[in-house]
């Protein structure tokens, strides 16, 4: 079978598979609490104007309590570090530091913000750290643990630390996929023993930890499978090398249990359909469910006890980002123009979320000025000079008119930190106060 036939055969298989539909009752149950807050949110928009980010600190701290409680029941002593790349607003980091979490940063810019919160437990991860970034970490070695990404970075860190005559606490990142794009991160698992041996020659680095990360985890299967692989490698380590490991950082990537909500165009069938028929738009919503947090904690905890702890006695770190912040920020917009019954323009562009998110990801748009649990068809466009500036294709309400206040909920993760100065100003952030 030639390549064209293989492609057509695979495409036919995809078109026959139906993605799970997101039911109306699930969406209505999700938006009902926001409708109960309608007046509070309308007053908020009146006070601060639009477009604006709403920061709900109470929800953030509720998520922090839930996360730490659930994981501590399965993995006593586990320590959580908020992944700042998911939302780099200083108030978010400060709130979580005051709660008791550490911070996970992946740039010198994030490290400066983290240090500014007074945080004393910071993990510095990420590939390609510049010498100035390493120097900032070394200068604050009492608060920062560097997660080394490569053999080259090991040598660069030693050089920077030698100049300051400081011993740096460090771990090494392990790549979870030796092929493809994710090999960008960390060293291959097979190189672990070699890396640890090399690090023993450097007097200014105390290598005492391991880290790995898998992303977009709807289930714990990727984390569990890598822990099993890691256990086999740990069993082969020399005795002293195993004893030197003080912490294991299992990364983050936990998906909120609501799951991933998508437009038709983002499903496998939808992508193929739109390549053939680019103007088609299916009104259906789809959902890929995620396991509850309790399942993640239980399965990861069991795997640690069975495959890791027999070989090393260590603390466990984890780096939740999306799971903590996702539901703690929302966006409020105002309708400025109604060009047709099925097309309105709002005052905020999608530059405030940084990418064309809503062409693929589904989030309900709620008309707070004229609310309803009925979803009506309407193109909701932003005010940027590009046709890709779309907030949604529907709204919940009994009508929509200029001056109406709209809400796009759960925009805390990978929106604020991806915002960009493109054509229109960025939206400010203000706290929601009952």
Model confidence over 280-297: pLDDT tens digits? 566 678 999 999 999 999
Strand pairing class (366-367; 405-408): antiparallel
Mean pLDDT over residues 181-187, rounded? 94
Up-side HSE of residue 245: CA atoms within 13 Å toward CB?
29
Residue appearing with tokens 């005052």: 347
Mean pLDDT over residues 330-351, rounded? 97
CATH class of 28-54+327-431: mainly beta
Q: Which residues pair with 104 in a beta bridge?
A: 83, 123
Are 406 and 366 within 8 A, CB to CB? yes
* Percent of the chain whose predicted confidence (pLDDT) is above 70: 92
Residue 266 pLDDT > 70, yes or no? Answer: no
Residue 279 pLDDT > 80, yes or no? Answer: no
Confidence of residue 272 (pLDDT cuts 50, 70, 90): low
Mean pLDDT over residues 25-43, rounded? 96
Mean pLDDT over residues 34-53, rounded? 97
Q: Which residues pair with 286 in a beta bridge?
A: 21, 262
Confidence of residue 265 (pLDDT cuts 50, 70, 90): confident
Q: What's phi and psi for 307, nearest 5 deg?
A: -115, -15
Residue 434 pLDDT > 90, yes or no? Answer: no
Residue 11 pLDDT > 50, yes or no? Answer: no
Q: How big is the CA angle at 140 (ends 137 and 143), to the nearest 5 degrees?
A: 100
Element (H or E) spanning 145, and its range? Answer: strand 144-148
Residue ranges of domains in the chain: 28-54+327-431, 57-267+289-325
CATH class of 57-267+289-325: alpha beta
Average pLDDT over the chain reads 93
Confidence of residue 58 (pLDDT cuts 50, 70, 90): very high
Q: Which pLDDT score, from 0 to 100, does residue 282 have?
A: 61
Cα separation, 269 vs 44, in Å, equals 41
Mean pLDDT over residues 389-412, rounded? 97
Distant-in-sequence, close-in-space partners of 43: CB < 8 Å, separation ≥ 6: none
Q: Which pLDDT score, from 0 to 100, does residue 284 have?
A: 77
């Amino acid at each position: 079978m030639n390549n064209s036939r293989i492609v057509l055969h695979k495409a036919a298989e995809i078109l026959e598979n139906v993605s799970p539909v997101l039911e109306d009752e699930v969406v209505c149950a999700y938006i009902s609490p926001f409708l109960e807050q309608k007046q509070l949110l309308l007053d908020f928009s009146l006070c601060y104007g639009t477009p604006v980010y709403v920061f709900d600190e109470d929800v953030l701290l509720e998520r922090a309590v839930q996360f730490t409680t659930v994981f501590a029941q399965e993995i006593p002593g586990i320590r959580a570090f908020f992944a700042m790349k998911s939302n780099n607003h200083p108030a978010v980091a400060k709130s979580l530091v005051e709660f008791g979490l550490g911070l996970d940063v992946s740039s010198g810019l994030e490290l400066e913000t983290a240090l500014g919160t007074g945080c004393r437990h910071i993990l510095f991860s990420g590939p390609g750290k510049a010498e100035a970034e390493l120097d900032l970490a070394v200068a604050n070695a009492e608060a920062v643990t560097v997660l080394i990404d490569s053999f080259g970075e090991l040598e660069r860190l030693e050089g920077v630390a030698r100049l300051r005559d400081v011993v740096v606490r460090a771990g090494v990142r392990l790549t979870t996929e030796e092929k493809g794009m994710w090999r960008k991160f960390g060293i291959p698992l097979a190189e672990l023993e070699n890396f640890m041996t090399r690090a023993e020659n450097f007097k200014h680095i105390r290598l005492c930890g391991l880290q790995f990360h898998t992303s977009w985890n709807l289930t714990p299967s990727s984390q569990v499978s890598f822990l099993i692989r890691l256990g086999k490698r740990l069993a082969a380590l020399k005795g002293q090398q195993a004893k030197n490991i003080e912490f294991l950082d299992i990364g983050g990537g936990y998906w909120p249990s609501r799951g991933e909500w998508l437009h038709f165009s983002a499903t496998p069938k939808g992508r193929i359909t739109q390549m053939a028929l680019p103007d088609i738009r299916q009104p259906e919503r789809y959902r890929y469910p995620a396991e509850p947090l309790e399942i993640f904690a239980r399965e990861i905890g069991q795997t640690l006890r069975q495959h890791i702890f027999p070989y090393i006695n260590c603390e466990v770190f984890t780096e939740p980002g999306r799971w903590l912040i996702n539901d703690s920020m929302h966006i409020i917009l105002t309708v400025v123009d109604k060009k047709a019954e099925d097309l309105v323009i709002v005052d905020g562009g999608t530059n405030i979320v940084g990418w064309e998110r809503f062409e693929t990801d589904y989030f309900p748009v709620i008309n707070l000025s004229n609310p309803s649990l009925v979803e009506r068809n309407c193109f909701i466009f932003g005010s940027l000079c590009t046709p890709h500036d779309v907030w949604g294709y529907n709204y919940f309400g009994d009508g929509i008119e200029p001056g109406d206040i709209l809400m796009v909920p759960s925009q805390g993760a990978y929106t604020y930190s991806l915002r960009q100065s493109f054509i229109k100003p960025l939206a400010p952030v203000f706290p929601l106060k009952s």
